[in-house]
Amino acid sequence: MLKNHLIVALRRLIAQPGASAVTIGGLMLGFAGCLMILGYVRAERSYDAWLPGHDRVFQVQTVIRPPGTDVVHHQGSSFPVFERMGADFPQVEAITSIQVGKTVAEHDGAPVFLDAVSVDPGFFRVFPLTFLHGSAETALSDPAAIVLGESVARQLFGTADVLGRSLTTGAGDGKVPRRIAGVLADLPPNTNLKLGVISLRDPNGVPPPMRGWGNFDQQHFVRLKAGADPATINAALPAWEWRVVPSRLEGGAMVGMASVFDFHLVPITAIHLGQAQEGAIVPGGDARALTTLTVVALLTLAMAIINFLNYGTARAIARARDVSLRRLFGASRRQIVAQFTVEALIAAAIAMLLALALVEIATPWLEALLETRLPRGYLGENGLLLPATGLLVAVGLLGGLAPALYAAKGRPAHALGANRGSAETPGSARARTALVVVQFAIAIGLIASTAVIYSQTRFIARVDPGYRRDGLIQIDNAWRFTQGSEYDAARPQMQAIPGVTGVARTSLTLNPGEQPMRLMQRDGATDHVTMGFYGVDDAFLQTMDVPLLAGRRFDVARQGDRFDGLSPAALGERGINVVINRAGARMFGLASPGAALGQVVRVAFPGWDGDGMQMVPATIVGVVENTRLRTAREPLEPLVYAYEPQQTSTVLVRYAGARPAEVMAGLERVWRRLEPEIPFEARFADDIAADFLAADRARAVLFAGFSALAVLIACLGLYGLAAFAAERRTKEIGIRKVLGATVADIVRLLAWQFTRPVVLANLVAWPATWWAMREWLNGFDIRVPLTITPFAVAGLLALAIAVATVAGHALRVARANPIHALRYE
Amino acid sequence: MLSMRNLSRVYRTDTVETSALDQIDLEIASGEFIAIMGPSGCGKSTLLNMIGLLDSPTSGSYRFDGEEVAGLPEAKLAGIRKRSIGFIFQSFNLVDELTVRENVELALLYHGIGAGERARRVDAVMDKVGIAHRARHRPSQLSGGQQQRVAVARAVVAAPKLILADEPTGNLDTVHGEEVMRMLQLLNAEGTTVVMVTHSPAHADYAQRVVNMLDGRILQERRRAA
């Protein structure tokens, strides 16, 4: 019996190649999209799940509530956490403090940057990583010992077997010869850690400014004892903070720093998609985007399944006569259901095989687009085999049972009765129309969303950033280059490069990472505010070409502009001059840029002893335009500039009338002469800005891809239904033609039948999409207005596509000679 | 009213060439009632389709109302059909999804007649064939005789000059068959030309002229005494 079912099923697929292609093609697209997004979701959720005992490893994160500004969720925590938490919480088996940065080593005569992380001896107790050479016990036995990752070892030495060899890291005075005491197997790509060169940091040697509670430059991870409940610790942490974090005197009152920040444990596997992304070692994922993609993928799959069901029931009606005959000859209802189910399963299986092929082809493209690695392979926990099989069986059963039950339900006599064009009941036609409405609503929603996303992406790419972006180069890692005599030597050489018109130093880069926030208070105000405080030199504002709104820029000649190496206490006596931006003026409550001039604000300077705080009076001497240096999602940062070149580590170069590549080459020559031990890393401002757009742009592309997929699936479905309807209405159309209807009349009739559900779909799609897009746009600081245009465009596009899809059938049927339809029933 | 000269219709498939109509010469005057008879496959229905402009001749001439219609484009033919010709089929060919009233109205839908005028004419013709009380029913709720009356109503509502009936009584019992024949006779008496294909000699007797066909040719024409 099964063999018979299989034969019939395959013959039916082959006998109707067009219909089979439509059904299977749609299902294939739905499956493929779903499986790819599943892979992406799995990749994003698998971060550090490979770590042995990962369920007991937690990161100590910090929620910082700076006065007068937004809450910051930070992955770092204060260094004292490391010193006290292990002792105060017996559940903690091990705790480690890691600080991430970069170091320099020489390779083939040129300096190269290496990822570097300095850890305490307890690191390998929290992270039991695999050693290729050496062991965790001996690896970090003394400060001269380092552990290399496998790929770093191969990069530098050409082999991973480098135990006992030496490597000199650092530059200038910081140059230290090191002994390689271990080589680690490379970490999987799905990790929050970045290990290149691991060195020992003596916890007792950490300098006082780094030991303050307000410093979050290090990350802490704990491994809990087996059976320990992290919730208990999280519940106890607030009280612990009040106990251990010192309060400080401020304006005559004791202010507890414990009220400003809260520590809590976050499972290591929850870091990547977690809320806290400030201070992340590896850029985190976007949980919202992931959810959106999942929803879109499921909607696409739903559309494909709707096609499958719609087409299945439509065919079942067409086959009602055939089914009735079989039942007259004694076929049981079960046999008919089995026949339908086998057919649907075979169609679903073919679709799945094609979908898997499509996934194989499309995965590298998706990886490039999302800049991630997706799981490959079919077997195992993250394999595709299980979800693919599950999906195919579920869809196959659904697609077989629904129409089978429908077809088997009817009484044989009904379908065989004379003069009945079909066994169609009005109810089933309505259900199919409803499904078409749902499909087109999804398609219209996706098209409209794509249009909104596209125009927003374009808008943020073109918005005025508040400085001149073209003709600007940023040189990174210039922390030695910007200081003292080295810069005095470099500056004239850089300015001598043809085309260079300006050179400046800044601590505010074009792609700022951390926001160095300071507590501030305007004289006479009761509330404190928190704002970014950036050291720049006197050429910075001109070089950036930031419009001056009021007052003046920095002037080296004026004593009050300069810090002159004074201690915070001495600055507190003397005061400093600052320039603020427009958003800063607003934050201080100053009505206009002009009104800000001459106003005095007090800026908190960390004392030289770590925890102490000195409020330094700062006079506003200039107000400049806002600059947009982060993504368009983040609000314009209110900030204060101070003339403090000793705090800078980035050089900006403005050029004009010269070939960019030649300017860049000239800068590199100067750099090599003066800074041979550090790699030259410089980028054009335009390229840096493009990076900020990359994630949103990738999402836009992905969204557009899924919209196209959805439209295609909807069209396939409509095409199939139109074919079915045209076939079913052949007689009626024949009658109409005999009665004098022209081809145009008939085409209009059929087109209208399918236009109505599309029009209805607009009514469903518009409000839902409007809401979703408004939510999405609200995530941006600057945004395009939400107009009716993308919705109208999407609606009309869907309509045009629907009519074009149906028109072919309609034309064929309308042109057919009516006598064939009418003569033979 | 119409005249065919040397008219042939050949059906070609990949392998076979079938001559459905072979050099037909036929004249039909206005106001005639003609019955076409002959065994299955003799070309009766093809000839009727040809008369009704549902099929085009392979060769020969066909003048309808003095105008040569062989080779006219479909749009022109559709125009002549809706103005001048009404059709009645053996299998009624009513649209299942439409009510009786809507089925009848269908014949006026493509004439550009206003809704009020349409309603008036539909009511009148439904009264005439005696199905007004069934106006809201669906075809599947009617008996065969009632369905054919609806079909007749639909054929005549646009007041065509020519009514073509393809075995109009073929699916009906004797009583209902006679009823339809009397209706056609009445229409003819009012001046409408009627061309009917039938197997029934008794029903052929209603016609003034009987055309006998065999193998795509007209074998014999027989004019009944009035």
Instruction: Identify the pLDDT of residue A825.
Output: 39
Which range, A63-77, A132-146, A190-204, A647-661, is most confident?
Answer: A647-661
CA distance B79 to chain A (A): 6
Confidence band of A356 (pLDDT split at 50, 70, 90):
very high
Scanning every residue of chain B, which has its alpha carbon at the shortest distance from the alpha carbon of A744?
B75
Q: What angle do CA A102, A103, A105 make, to 5 degrees?
A: 145
| Interchain proximity B54–A818, CB inside 8 Å | yes
- CB–CB of B46/B10 below 8 Å? no
- DSSP letters for A392-435: HHHHHHHHHHHHHHHHHHS-HHHHHSTT-S----HHHHHHHHHH
Scanning every residue of chain B, which has its alpha carbon at the shortest distance from the alpha carbon of A735?
B93
DSSP 8-state class, residue A242: H
| Interchain proximity A422–B49, CB inside 8 Å | no
CA distance A741 to chain B (A): 6
Domain boundaries, given as residue ranges, for chain B: 33-57+73-223
Which one is predicted more confidently, A591 or A751?
A: A591
Q: Which of A419, A421, A738 sits opposite B87 (nearest CB)?
A: A738
Residues on chain A bordering chain B, Cβ-to-Cβ distance under 8 angstroms: 419-422, 731-732, 734-743, 745, 815, 817-819, 822-823, 825
Instruction: Identify the pLDDT of residue A142.
Output: 84
Q: Which residues contact B77 (CB under 8 A, 6 or more apart)?
A: B53, B56, B69
Instruction: Identify the pLDDT of residue A420.
Output: 42
Say whether pLDDT at A412 is over 60: no
| Interchain proximity B140–A420, CB inside 8 Å | yes
| Interchain proximity A743–B74, CB inside 8 Å | yes
B214 closest CA partner among B15, B3, B19: B19
Compute CA A11 distance to the chain's CA centroid, rounded to the nearest angstrom.
47
| Interchain proximity A738–B81, CB inside 8 Å | yes
Instruction: Identify the pLDDT of residue A495.
Output: 94
- The phi and psi torsions of A472 (rounded to 5 degrees) equal -135, 130
Contacts of A317 in chain B (CB under 8 A): none
Scanning every residue of chain B, which has its alpha carbon at the shortest distance from the alpha carbon of A421?
B96
Instruction: Identify the pLDDT of residue A421.
Output: 43
Say whether pLDDT at A288 is over 90: no
Domain boundaries, given as residue ranges, for chain A: 1-47+288-424, 54-270, 425-466+693-825, 472-691
SS3 A168: strand
Cα(A25)–Cα(A31) distance, integer angstroms: 10
Instruction: Identify the pLDDT of residue A408.
Output: 60
CATH architecture of B33-57+73-223: 3-Layer(aba) Sandwich (3.40)
DSSP 8-state class, residue A280: -
Q: Which of A732, A741, A823 sits opposite B110 (nearest CB)?
A: A741
H, E, C per residue of A472-493: EEEECCCCCCCCHHHHHHHHHH
Q: Give me the helix-helix angle, A426-462 and A789-815, nearest 10°.
A: 140
Confidence band of A822 (pLDDT split at 50, 70, 90):
low
- CB–CB of A711/A518 below 8 Å? no
What is the Rg, in whole angstroms, of the alpha carbon atoms belonging to chain B?
17
What percent of chain A shows pLDDT beyond 70? 92
Q: Which residues contact B167 (CB under 8 A, 6 or more apart)?
A: B89, B90, B197, B198, B199
Cα(A140)–Cα(A148) distance, integer angstroms: 11
Structure tokens at B147: 């369905």
Burial (CB < 10 A; 0-12, 13-18, 19+), residue A520, is buried
Per-residue pLDDT tens digits for A768-804: 999 999 998 998 999 999 999 999 999 998 888 888 8
Say whether pLDDT at A416 is over 50: no
- DSSP letters for A298-318: HHHHHHHHHHHHHHHHHHHHH
Residue A94: its H or E element: strand A92-107
Q: Which residues contact A604 (CB under 8 A, 6 or more apart)?
A: A518, A519, A520, A613, A614, A615, A616
Confidence band of A267 (pLDDT split at 50, 70, 90):
very high
Contacts of B140 in chain A (CB under 8 A): 419-420
CA distance A802 to chain B (A): 24
CB pairs under 8 A between A and B: 66
Structure tokens at A126: 């929290």
Confidence band of A331 (pLDDT split at 50, 70, 90):
low
| Interchain proximity B52–A823, CB inside 8 Å | no
Per-residue pLDDT tens digits for A93-112: 999 999 998 888 988 888 89
Q: Among the listed ranges A249-258, A568-577, A606-615, A748-757, which one has the minimum average pLDDT value?
A: A249-258
Burial (CB < 10 A; 0-12, 13-18, 19+), residue A368, is exposed
Contacts of B106 in chain A (CB under 8 A): 735-736, 739
* Sheet-wide strand order for B67-68: B17-28, B2-12, B59-64, B67-68
Task: Output b/e per residue, A4-16; b: 16+ Cβ within 10 A.
Answer: ebeeebeebbeee
CA distance B42 to chain A (A): 15
Instruction: Identify the pLDDT of residue B195.
Output: 95
Cα(A8)–Cα(A252) distance, integer angstroms: 90
Instruction: Identify the pLDDT of residue A216.
Output: 87
Distances (CA, A) of A219 to A57, A130, A337, B165: 13, 21, 61, 93
Cα(B93)–Cα(A485) distance, integer angstroms: 102
Cα(B215)–Cα(B21) distance, integer angstroms: 8
Confidence band of A422 (pLDDT split at 50, 70, 90):
very low
Contacts of B54 in chain A (CB under 8 A): 738, 817-819
| Interchain proximity A739–B82, CB inside 8 Å | yes
| Interchain proximity A739–B109, CB inside 8 Å | yes
Instruction: Identify the pLDDT of residue A419.
Output: 39
Contacts of A818 in chain B (CB under 8 A): 54
Confidence band of A765 (pLDDT split at 50, 70, 90):
very high
Q: Which residues of chain B have pLDDT under 50?
A: none
Residue among A738, A742, A748, A820 with most chain B CBs within 10 A, to mutate: A738
| Interchain proximity A743–B75, CB inside 8 Å | yes
Burial (CB < 10 A; 0-12, 13-18, 19+), residue A202, is exposed
Residue among B56, B89, B94, B95 with most chain A CBs within 10 A, to mutate: B95
Instruction: Identify the pLDDT of residue A708.
Output: 85
CA distance A357 to chain B (A): 40
| Interchain proximity B96–A738, CB inside 8 Å | no
Per-residue pLDDT tens digits for A206-238: 887 778 887 888 999 999 999 999 999 999 999
Per-residue pLDDT tens digits for A459-505: 988 889 999 999 999 999 888 888 878 888 899 999 999 999 999 99
Instruction: Identify the pLDDT of residue A418.
Output: 37
| Interchain proximity B91–A822, CB inside 8 Å | yes
CB atoms within 10 A of CB A556: 12
| Interchain proximity A422–B96, CB inside 8 Å | yes
- CB–CB of A722/A806 below 8 Å? yes
Instruction: Identify the pLDDT of residue A249.
Output: 53
Average pLDDT over residues A654-668: 94
Which one is predicted more confidently, A13 or A37?
A: A37
Residue among B11, B21, B46, B54 with most chain A CBs within 10 A, to mutate: B54
Instruction: Identify the pLDDT of residue A264.
Output: 93
| Interchain proximity B81–A822, CB inside 8 Å | no
Average pLDDT, chain A: 85
CB atoms within 10 A of CB A574: 13
Contacts of B45 in chain A (CB under 8 A): 823
Q: Which of B54, B83, B140 sits opposite A817 (nearest CB)?
A: B54
Q: Among the listed ranges A253-262, A297-306, A558-567, which one has the minimum average pLDDT value?
A: A253-262
- CB–CB of A78/A215 below 8 Å? yes
Cα(A609)–Cα(A779) distance, integer angstroms: 40
Query: With a cut of 0.90, is the ipTM above it?
Result: no
Per-residue pLDDT tens digits for A385-402: 888 999 999 998 888 887
